[in-house]
Every structure is written in C-alpha cells, then in structure tokens.
Amino acid sequence: MTDKQTKMKILAKQFGEIAKNPNMKAFFPDKTNPFIWHVSYKGPQDSDFQGGIYHCHLNLAHYPECAPEVMLLHENGSYNPNELLCIVGITHYHQEGWTPGTSIEAIITALQMLMQVTTGRGGIGVYTSLDQKQILKDKEKSLTYTCKCGANHAALFK
Ligand SMILES: [Zn+2]
C-alpha cells in the first residue's frame, strides 16, 4: 500500500492537473478528509448535455491502487443521482478493470464522455436509455446548482 504521505503527493499532482483543465474544477467538501473530492465538469460537446455543468463525488481513500467510488450528486439524465456508479475501468465495482495510475482527470473525462453514449448502458447507477426531454430539463437546473463544498454553478466556468 502507498503510505499516506505518498498518497497526498499523488493527489496534489492530480489536483494540479484538474486545475489546468478548463472543463473541470475540484472541491473539498470535508476539509478534514483529503480523500473525498467533489468535481464539477462540463457536459460533453456536441451532445444534449453540452452547456450543462455536472457535479460528482469521489472517494479516493484507496486510490491509486484501487478505483474510486464515484457518484453524481444531482439529477442529470444519464446517471442515477446519489448512487455509486458501476463503470468498468473507472469505478470501484470492477477493480479487475482498473489500471493503477489512471488519473483523476481521466476518470472525470470518462464520466463526462460516457454521459452521452447510447450503447452498452445499464451498469449500476447508469440509466439504460437516454431521454432528451429529461436531459434538457436537468441541464437547465444544473446551471444554478450549488453544493456545500462551495461549488456554485451559476458562477463557475465564466
Ligand atoms: Zn460538492
């Protein structure tokens, strides 16, 4: 296992990468727990989600050896809100599909890109099909979303 100090270094580097990415921003909802992250990210381009901003929770307690627990924190039209997601390669349900060293930026990018994918859906927490009306309604709401972590989507990415 990676010791705590090494873990903190790895997470600091990951945070730096996300800070440079104009499509996402990380927050810390619990100042006493550096392994719980919230990340806001933009909806994927050229999809019904484009223009929306989505907010997710990550538990990185066993990262980078193990995939994190990941869930979305509000209605979004693609993933069940407040349910830990099962996505092979990026979330904890399938550790055998996890590649240690996968960056948090890559995890968020996968979460972002997979929102709009219409085939092969239906893992735990993943809607089996997409409903455009729902997506557009949830997208509108996502733009004024606020979270106790400090995320305020009305003022984010401006
Ligand atoms: Zn938050």
Question: Is residue 62 pLDDT above 80, yes or no?
Answer: yes
Distance 116 CA to ligand 1 centre (A): 22
Return the pLDDT at 122: 85
CA distance 134 to 76: 8
Return the pLDDT at 1: 59
Distance 88 CA to ligand 1 centre (A): 24
How, if at all, do strands 24-27 and 36-42 pair? antiparallel
Superfamily of domain 4-155: Ubiquitin Conjugating Enzyme (3.10.110.10)
Q: In the chain, which ranges are E strands?
A: 24-27, 36-42, 53-59, 69-72
* pLDDT 10s digits, 94-132: 888 999 989 999 999 999 999 999 988 888 999 999 999
Distance 110 CA to ligand 1 centre (A): 19
Distance 49 CA to ligand 1 centre (A): 19
CA distance 27 to 62: 19
Question: Is residue 88 pLDDT above 90, yes or no?
Answer: no
**pTM value?**
0.95
Q: CB of 157 within 8 A of CB of 42? A: yes
Q: Where are the domains of the chain?
A: 4-155
Mean pLDDT on 37-46: 98
CB atoms within 10 A of CB 41: 23
